[in-house]
Amino acid sequence: MEIRGPIQLPARREEIELETLDGLTLVGELALPADRDPVATLVTLHPLPTAGGFMDSHILRKAAGRLPALADLAVLRFNTRGTSSPRGTSDGAFDGGRSEAFDVAAAMDFVHARGLPRPWFVGWSFGTELALKYGRDHDVEGAVLLSPPLHRATDAEVAAWAGDRRRLVVLIPEFDDYLRPDAAAERFSSVPEAVLIPVEGGKHLWVGENQTRRVLTEIVAAVNPDALPLPTEWDGPAEAE
């Protein structure tokens, strides 16, 4: 069958809870390869909850549905404080990216407690702000940023990544609503090591199977390039979400 849309390939899926240092419980899911250990871990940070973002935002849901099987990756998704999804509602209330620092730390505590290998942040929109602001506080290999608006992450917080050992890979949609390639090149010029990838025809929400495949391919290219090219067909068990 063709791999597209809301398809879930085989994986070990577990509903989890994260405990923050300020006493909140966040709900989430961990997806692991079905029959082997992961080679790396995606710690996903979802778009703005006040604009409908949550752990099931489609690129993150599709990453969890496909990449454990296609690229041997663990995928951790969770709702930041006050955010709801079919999995449930995390404690607390949205704090504009401030107290969410505790949420990012709780996810990383979980990664280390489980011994999950080679963690990378994958932030989308608001999630990129959390990765930029707080990612350097944690032992990760890097961050993949999807459609960064750079509303909350300051120029100083961006520039702090200059010379950092952790890689920064930034996907910039050609027709983004907030930050397009030319402006992104200027805003990230303080981090010469950052890899900026303009995506022709791309839009902020990455709608459509072609854009989904492009985003997942770029994530895997950064984290586990040996798994490329990603298959577009699957000969085995699968299910719709």
Per-residue model confidence (pLDDT) at position 238: 83
Q: Which of 108, 120, 107 is nearest to 81 (CA)?
A: 107
Q: Where are the alpha helices (DSSP H) in 72-134?
A: 100-114, 126-134
CA 145 to the chain's CA centroid? 7
Across 150-175, average pLDDT: 97
Q: In this structure, what are the phi and psi dihedrals at residue 80, rounded to the nearest 5 degrees?
A: -65, 170
Whether the CB-CB separation of 206 and 212 falls below 8 Å is answered with yes
Where do the structural domains in the chain lie, given as residue ranges?
Answer: 7-240
Q: Which CATH architecture has domain 7-240?
A: 3-Layer(aba) Sandwich (3.40)
Bridge partners (DSSP) listed for residue 45: 123
Task: For residues 217 and 63, give the distance between their C-alpha atoms in angstroms, rounded to a whole number.
Answer: 10
For residue 186 the two structure tokens come to 């200027």
pLDDT in tens, 40-77: 999 999 999 999 999 999 999 999 999 999 999 999 99
Bridge partners (DSSP) listed for residue 76: 30, 43
Bridge partners (DSSP) listed for residue 88: 85
For residue 163 the two structure tokens come to 């010379």
Give the model's confidence band at 10: pLDDT under 50 very low, under 70 low, under 90 confident, else very high.
very high
Q: How crowded is the C-beta side of 73, counted as CA atoms within 13 Å?
A: 33
Residue 164 CA: distances (Å) to CA of 2, 109, 111, 137: 40, 21, 21, 11
Give the model's confidence band at 98: pLDDT under 50 very low, under 70 low, under 90 confident, else very high.
very high
